[in-house]
Amino acid sequence: MLDWTFKQRAAAFLVLGVAILALFHERIYNGLAGPFDVEARQLITMHDVPAQRFVRVLRDGRPVHYNELVWAGLIEQQVEDDDRHTTASYSELDVDGHPLIVRAVRNSSADDNPPLIGLIEMPGSELARYAPGDTIFVDGDQATYRFCALAAFVTAMVALLAGLDQLRRAYRRRAADSPPFI
């Protein structure tokens, strides 16, 4: 086992906490502050994923629900090896005559018609081949996304607090070991 000093442990915990915050800052921000309301018309005109990517889709100021989606039947295939691939089905939301592709992921809630909430992501080249002209889709599970964001935030805060505690102990020990000031 490593025989680290209080200062070395403090540095390790502080670096770990800062690294977690740096890596997951966007997920933490979106998971704790979102979902953000976004109009469906804005979704079809976006060319890049915004910072506020955990969204609730609105149409004319009211939430869009799953029953307003039409099954598109698109298949996304991402080949990783020679024998493995993943598939997903998609639904479609008509926004002023322009189809917005939505991955058909549903929350396992008792509500049969929940509002459309998820993550804005740019489609891969495979999806673009099946649905040319569509630039983004909404995908994600609200509870899982929030849980992961909260877990990352709590882990980072625990690491930072442990690092600060180790610093406190190091300076307390140094003060106890030093000769009294006369």
Mean pLDDT computed over every residue of the chain = 81
DSSP letter for 42, please.
H
The answer, yes or no, to whether residue 32 has pLDDT greater than 80, is yes
How close are the terminal C-alpha atoms of the chain, in Å? 40
User: Locate tokens 């008792």: which residue?
Assistant: 110
**pTM across the whole model:** 0.74
Mean pLDDT, residues 71-75 taken together? 78
Give one DSSP letter per residue of 126-174, joined into a string: HHHHHSTT---EEE--HHHHHHHHHHHHHHHHHHHHHHHHHHHHHHHHH
The tokens describing 129, both together, are 């081949």
Number of residues written out for the chain? 182
Dihedral through CA 6, CA 9, CA 10, CA 13, nearest 10? -160
pLDDT tens digit sequence for 148-170: 999 999 999 999 999 999 888 88
Mean pLDDT, residues 88-107 taken together? 78
Type and span of the H or E element at 30: helix 6-33
Percent of the chain with pLDDT over 70: 75
Mean pLDDT, residues 93-103 taken together? 85
Cα gap 95→49, rounded to integer Å: 19
What's the pLDDT at 156?
96
- Listed range (5-14, 61-70, 86-95) with the worst mean pLDDT: 86-95
For residue 77, what pLDDT band results from cuts at 50, 70 and 90? low
Q: Domain-by-domain residue ranges, the chain? A: 7-174
DSSP letter for 112, please.
S
Type and span of the H or E element at 62: strand 62-63
User: Residue 130: CB partners within 8 Å, gap ≥ 6?
Assistant: 74, 75, 76
- The better pLDDT of the pair 173, 19 is held by 19
Percent of the chain with pLDDT over 90: 31
Q: Are 36 and 54 in contact (CB under 8 A)?
A: yes
Nearest to 137 by CA among 55, 52, 27, 33: 55
Mean pLDDT, residues 58-78 taken together? 83
Classify the C-alpha dihedral 153-151-25-49 as positive or negative: negative
Phi and psi (nearest 5°) for 145?
-65, -45
